[in-house]
Amino acid sequence: MLIAVEAIGWIAAVMILAAYALLTAGKVDARSPLYQWMNVGGAAGFIVNSGYNGALPSAALNVIWMGIGAAALWRIARTRGSSTSAT
């Protein structure tokens, strides 16, 4: 179990760092689904890892981080849905 939790934590770190690197390099936009999914997935992994290790402040931060990403994805989907059905 410990190895799985550590792997999840490292994958989460790579996802969030890659998202930030892509954003900084101008390869993705902050409102792109890819960027938001990378942040949501990374935050979910950090929640698992930090929760398992008892790092509750980190887990709480990532719950909020994940919520922000989920809200952004909801807005993106809603905006795309309304722009395609307005004909």
What is the per-residue pLDDT across 42-86, written as a single tens digit (0 to 9) for each? 999 999 999 999 999 999 999 999 999 999 999 999 998 876 655
pLDDT value at residue 81: 82
d(CA 44, CA 36): 12
pTM of the model: 0.87
